[in-house]
């Protein structure tokens, strides 16, 4: 259920992607993923494998392809910058992106 804060995150154009770390282990990072679009908000989950950088998105099939592509790239970028053993992933990441046509 969207909150008042979530409504303030809804863009008038493009998309805002929010990642919130739920759990982290030496094997993987679990994240809640929210796509804020002008017409709707989509919520799902991501699993990021720490060894390989493989990302699995769940419950976001209704998202436009360009938003999903951006979210995957953002997650891979986070993985690339935190490959060292014991490197912590940020608790929260929030990024806006214009629509790719």
Question: In the structure encoding, which two tokens stand for residue 41, read together?
Answer: 């908000």
Q: Look at residue 5 in the predicted model and tell me its pLDDT.
A: 63
pTM here is: 0.88
Q: Look at residue 1 in the predicted model and tell me its pLDDT.
A: 47
SS3 letters for the chain? CCCHHHHHHCCCCCEEEEEEEEEECCCEEEEEEEEECCCCEEEEEEEEECCCCCEEEECCCCCCHHHHHHHHHHHHHHHHCCCCCCCCCCCEEEEEECCCC
Q: Residue-wise pLDDT tens for the chain (101 aa)?
A: 455 467 789 888 899 999 999 999 989 999 999 999 999 999 999 999 999 999 999 999 999 999 999 999 999 999 988 877 778 889 999 999 988 77
Domain ranges of the chain: 4-83
């Amino acid at each position: 259920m969207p909150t008042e804060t979530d409504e303030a995150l809804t863009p008038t154009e493009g998309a805002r992607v929010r990642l919130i770390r739920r759990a982290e282990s030496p094997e993987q990072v679990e994240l809640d993923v929210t796509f804020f679009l002008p017409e709707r908000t989509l919520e799902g989950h991501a699993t990021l494998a720490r060894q390989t950088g493989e990302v699995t998105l769940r419950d976001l099939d209704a998202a436009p392809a360009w938003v999903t592509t951006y979210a995957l790239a953002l997650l891979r970028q986070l993985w690339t910058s935190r490959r060292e053993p014991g490197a912590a992933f940020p608790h929260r990441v929030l990024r806006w992106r214009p629509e790719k046509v």
